[in-house]
Structure 1
């Protein structure tokens, strides 16, 4: 990591639910919380806790110099709503194949 840029990943006992237009897309009691300098905390959920049957893989890929290349999934009315790092950099290996949504509520 570059000086001044940190990423931490912690297991959380929080309950996380992702709802889009009244439909539950994900619900988990075992999220990983990724905190990165300059970014809001993000919840990465195990794939078993995500309704993958509702999501369609996207052609979008983005590259982060700290995490690696992300793959995205979409809903018909919400492109690139969720992402994951199938082959993350070693420093963040814990998030491998976990999915992250832009709008996840923890309670």
Structure 2
């Protein structure tokens, strides 16, 4: 990918990253994909908050790296994973910023899930 000029969050496009402070569990059907007490909540502009879970707290045996990539001028290049289960795959429902821009550096080594396909519950 070509180098891009990062945009800095500010009043017109705020981004915050904070410790969630509660247990976060990601499930597909009866399968627990991730279970963490160390998640981070990323709030960006007017988008819904996103839970970023440390990759160490994810069942990586259920993830398959994808060739899909996207770019965010505020966060950087995102890489994707599919969730592979015995009853079928969910393509490109997990993403990670492996080398996020400095303004969101805390989300490195974390993954997030598309909540329309993966149930992400916050709290016990």
* TM-score, length basis structure 1: 0.94
Q: Distance in 2 between matches of 1:42 and 1:12?
A: 10
How far the C-alpha of 1:38 sits from its partner, in A, is 2.0
- Structure 1 unaligned blocks of 5 or more: none
**Runs of 4 or more consecutive aligned structure 1 residues displaced over 2 Å after TM superposition:** none
How far the C-alpha of 1:39 sits from its partner, in A, is 1.0
What is the aligned partner in structure 1 of residue 101 from structure 2?
A: 89
What is the aligned partner in structure 2 of residue 68 from structure 1?
A: 76
How far the C-alpha of 1:97 sits from its partner, in A, is 1.6
- Structure 2 unaligned blocks of 5 or more: 1-7
- Cα distance per residue 1:3-58 (max 9 Å; x no partner): 51010000121110011021000000110000000211001011110011111000
Q: Distance in 2 between matches of 1:48 and 1:89?
A: 21
Q: What secondary structure is seen at the aligned counterpart in 2 of 1:87?
A: coil
Q: What secondary structure is seen at the aligned counterpart in 1 of 2:77?
A: strand
What is the aligned partner in structure 1 of residue 53 from structure 2?
A: 45
Residue 56 (str. 1) matches residue 64 (str. 2) = yes
- The structure having more radius of gyration, on CA atoms, is 2
